Each structure stands twice: as structure tokens, then as C-alpha cells.
């Protein structure tokens, strides 16, 4: 009986610790286990970006973004067109980082073939592909008329 009472008291204390309540019923502030300084959060986020940049597909997206910036400057695209391009850069590159994270987590969980693992990886890759295709289509809509106008005036 004494053993059971000790376990019960221990569970009550554990519950108070989790909720932030003290033994006398007053609430005290308990820092969140996942809370970290803001600068440290940014450092981890930048680490993730640097890890993502080492991926082959992210290098391709970065090269495409540089080409778009070059042609955007050369062809003097409008502010609205720059906004569209920047939003699409963010979308495609952000999805590529999410895809990299999904692949890493799946590989962490299982090294053998699993249909659900394949499904998760393929779906994440498909999201990047759809965004990249739509970004390319928007780029063509923005740049083709300007390039045609430039070519007509040259010849």
C-alpha cells in the first residue's frame, strides 16, 4: 500500500511539473522544452538551407534562379514580374528543402524497401516537380514576349 501511495504521489508531482502547477496550487512558469533563443533558431534554419544547397536538384534550381535574375535585369521586367519570379523561387526552393527533409526522415526510419516510404518520397518529389513546371510556365509567359520583341527589333 505504501508503495502504491508513493507512485501516486510521484505521478501527481509529475503532472504538476508538466502543467506548471506547484504543490500549493499556484501556477508557476515552466519554460517550454522546445524553446530556444531566436538567433539559434535562425542558425539552425540557415544550416538547413546550406544542407539543401548541397543537393543536386537544389543546385539546378539555384542556377535557374540566377538565369532568371540575369534575364530579368537584361530585359527590364516590371516590379510585379519580379514579385512573381521571387515568389516562385521561394516556392520551388522551399519545396525542394521539404523534399530533402522528407527523404532524410524516410531514410532514417527505414533502409529497406517499403511501399509507404516510396509513396512519401515520390509525393514530395512530385510536389517539387509541379511547382517547377508552373514556375517555368510563368517564366515563359514573362520572358518570351520580351525576347520576341528584342529579336524583332534586332532583325
Annotated catalytic residues are 96
Q: Residues 6 or more apart from 126 whose CB is under 8 A from it?
A: none
Which residues are registered as beta bridge partners of 27?
21
Centroid of chain to Cα 151:
39
User: Which DSSP state fits 78?
Assistant: -
Strand locations in the chain (E) = none
61 by Cβ neighbours in 10 Å (0-12 / 13-18 / 19+) ranks as buried
**What whole-number distance in Å separates Cα of residue 35 and Cα of residue 138?**
40
Distance CA 97, CA 59 (A): 12
Nearest to 97 by CA among 51, 133, 52: 52
Amino acid at each position: 500500500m505504501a508503495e502504491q501511495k508513493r507512485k501516486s504521489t510521484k505521478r501527481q508531482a509529475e503532472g504538476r511539473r508538466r502543467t506548471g502547477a506547484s504543490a500549493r496550487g499556484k501556477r508557476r512558469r515552466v519554460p517550454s522544452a522546445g524553446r530556444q533563443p531566436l538567433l539559434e533558431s535562425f542558425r539552425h534554419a540557415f544550416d538547413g538551407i546550406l544542407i539543401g544547397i548541397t543537393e543536386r536538384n537544389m543546385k539546378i534550381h539555384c542556377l535557374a534562379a540566377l538565369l532568371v535574375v540575369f534575364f530579368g535585369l537584361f530585359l527590364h521586367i516590371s516590379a510585379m514580374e519580379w514579385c512573381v519570379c521571387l515568389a516562385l523561387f521561394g516556392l520551388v526552393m522551399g519545396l525542394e528543402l521539404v523534399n530533402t527533409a522528407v527523404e532524410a526522415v524516410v531514410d532514417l526510419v527505414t533502409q529497406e524497401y517499403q511501399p509507404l516510404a516510396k509513396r512519401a518520397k515520390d509525393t514530395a518529389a512530385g510536389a517539387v516537380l509541379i511547382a517547377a513546371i508552373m514556375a517555368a510556365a510563368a517564366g515563359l509567359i514573362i520572358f518570351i514576349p520580351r525576347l520576341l520583341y528584342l529579336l524583332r527589333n534586332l532583325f
